[in-house]
Amino acid sequence: MRYRSIGDVEVSAIGLGAMPLSIEGRPDRERAIATIHAALDAGITLIDTADSYHWNAGETGHNEVLIADALTTYGGDSDAVLIATKGGRGRPGDGSWTVTGTPAHLKNACEGSLKRLGVEAIGLYQLHKPDENVPWADSVGAIKELADEGKIRLAGVSNVSSAQILEARGILGEKLVSVQNEHSPAYLAHEPELALCTELGLAYLPWGPLGGISGASRIGAAHAGFLAVAEDHGVSPQRVCLAWLLAKSPSVVAIPGSTRPATIRDSAAAADLVLTAGDLARLP
């Protein structure tokens, strides 16, 4: 496992995106816990979650509770694991997603996450999405207050533009350590934000790095270059895709989702796959 930095914390270059373990189509609890344990066994030390990662109404924090239980029952050492959670979105239970970025909501959301994770301070707390009805400075300001109060150690923002990153940095200063945007072979619109994070020394956590839950299995078919490089290395196209993302910038820490131990073990191995210049020339 190779490691990268989020603020002053060293984490595995590949993390676990835990959302699929709690939303629609989620596995049973036993397999979900086994998947998290497999990630830890593979050397993963970053787990990404959010209070809104659940399926039905009334399940707020389902994913956070699942992760807390998995860490409690893990037989190995999990002290170095960084849990990154988010606040600012909701799920009413009808399949939709809401956005609420008011300071009051974010502070209440953080309190709920603290209790569910069973910690005194959240390792990395990220503002899930800008709320078009709330000034960005107000939402980010609430995150700064949580950091100043010691309730979160590190702060991040998600689903943001370059201008929003710069504004957040102006408010949070060095407390801003990460940006989490969609990024995959099928979605390259946030290349400017990746470049900005690289320039500023912020960690960049691409969500949906394999094209989302439905797209992961089609990486090789949708992008022939990944299949060709995978065949040359004797690995999966998914592993090549994650290694390609890591090669884009030292700021990248990829967080692929998984619902099975086998797939997260394969994803974790991408941290040790070094692609040549020739390999990269065949990829997007």
Handedness of CA 165, 170, 171, 177 (dihedral sign): positive
- Is residue 109 within 8 Å of residue 51, measured between CB atoms? yes
CA angle (31 as vertex; 66, 210 as ends), nearest 5? 85
Nearest to 263 by CA among 11, 32, 81, 35: 35
Q: Is 74 a catalytic residue?
A: no
- Is residue 14 within 8 Å of residue 268, measured between CB atoms? yes
Q: Which ranges of 173-283 does DSSP label H, i.e. alpha helix? A: 191-200, 219-222, 224-233, 237-248, 261-268, 277-281
CA distance 272 to 268: 8
- Is residue 255 within 8 Å of residue 207, measured between CB atoms? yes
State which amino acid sits at residue 82.
L
CA distance 103 to 126: 13
Active-site pick, 53, 74, 125, 204: 53
Catalytic residue set = 53
